[in-house]
Homo-oligomer: A and B are copies of this chain.
Amino acid sequence: MTNEANTQAPQHEGPTPERIFQALTAYQATAALKAAIELDIFTAIAEGATTAAEIAERCGAAERGARILCDYLTVGQFLTKQGGRYGLTPDTELFLTRRSPAYLGGMVEFLCGPHLVGAFQANFTESVRKGGTAMPEQGSMTPEHPMWEDFARSMAAMMHMPAEAIAGIVGAEGMETCKVLDIAAGHGVFGVALARHNPRAEVYAVDWQNVLPFARRTAEAAGVAERFHEIPGSAFDVEFGDGYDLALLTNFFHHFDKPTCVALMRKVHSALKPGGRAVTLEFVPDEDRVTPPAEAAFALIMLGTTPSGDAYTFGEFDAMFREAGFARSEIIAVPPQHVIVSYK
């Protein structure tokens, strides 16, 4: 018995259908990682269950199920395998074991939830035909859409790093006054980070009434609830008030077309005090719109879930923000996104 043919990687010359096959079955990769997170397999391995049998027992799975799933995750480089024992990679150890402070497993609820997945099933080809979401009404832009509750509940952990980055970029700790308008606050992580870094900061959070409780909980957990204020409703309709030092627009503009973005930014401009700054966190592709990969690919989610959202280039943002009255904008890379600071 020889298995030599098996031990050498196949050498392909010329075209092969492998990448096409891989993309057409990519939903299986989602299902596999989602199952591993739901069964808490990474935590089990971190706690010493490293064979398929041990993992199965710890996670309440069948041994065959654990073995096939863990082999698949090893192929995908989410696990290692040596002598029948599975191990974590640096990525999965940090982000997918429950005891890690950087645990991100909760993302499955939003990223693999019914609203987002639904937009990419039967309906997606129709979205391309139509040039906008084929979801009912305005897709995720429908007022008080429950998808934003999933978002606020499950994406907070992913945002701690960029929230800290923004606090550093704006120099929050050195600001003498720090009145913050947090537009589409969601989980509240961005405004609350500023409140943590500056004891004088007062945060005014705008979001749907059904979403604001999530932001309030974040403020409570950080001990800044008394400096956290709620403005329930659509950012396009509510009164912001004025005299703001900072306005946060984190992952908001990509849901809308350009005239809508300009109109909102005009409203933000008048709410800011002289010298105030608008801080935008966005997926900002290069002018070619196909690099960098993660930022360029993001526009597809807007095609599937919104009537007319997009991933705008910095050239487009700069033009929109000037039209809205801002003097100038600066862009800073906060991988995998960018921060744009715009000066009134």
What's the least CB distance linking A149 to chain B, in Å? 18
The listed residue with most B CB atoms (<10 A of its CB), out of A38, A124, A294, is A124
What's the least CB distance linking A56 to chain B, in Å? 8
* A34 touches which of B17, B24, B293 (Cβ 8 Å): B24
Asked if A34 and B92 make an inter-chain contact with CB atoms under 8 angstroms apart, the answer reads no
Query: What interface size band does chain A fall in?
Result: 35 or more
Asked if A15 and B130 make an inter-chain contact with CB atoms under 8 angstroms apart, the answer reads no
Residues of B within 8 A of A25 (CB): 30, 111, 301
Copies of the chain in the assembly: 2
Asked if B24 and A27 make an inter-chain contact with CB atoms under 8 angstroms apart, the answer reads no
Asked if B1 and A318 make an inter-chain contact with CB atoms under 8 angstroms apart, the answer reads yes
Residues of B within 8 A of A128 (CB): 35, 39, 61-62, 65-66, 68-69
The listed residue with most B CB atoms (<10 A of its CB), out of A24, A69, A121, A128, is A128
The prevalent SS among residues of A at the interface is helix
Asked if B331 and A3 make an inter-chain contact with CB atoms under 8 angstroms apart, the answer reads yes
In the complex, A296→B33 CA distance in Å? 16
In the complex, A132→B65 CA distance in Å? 7
Interface residues of A (CB under 8 A from B): 1-3, 5-10, 12, 14-35, 38-39, 60-69, 71-72, 74-78, 81, 90-96, 104, 107-108, 111-112, 117, 120-121, 124-125, 127-132, 158, 284-294, 296-297, 299-304, 308, 310, 313-315, 318, 329, 331-333, 335-336, 338
Shortest 7 CB-CB contacts between residues of A and residues of B = A62-B131, A10-B335, A65-B128, A31-B120, A26-B26, A64-B131, A27-B27
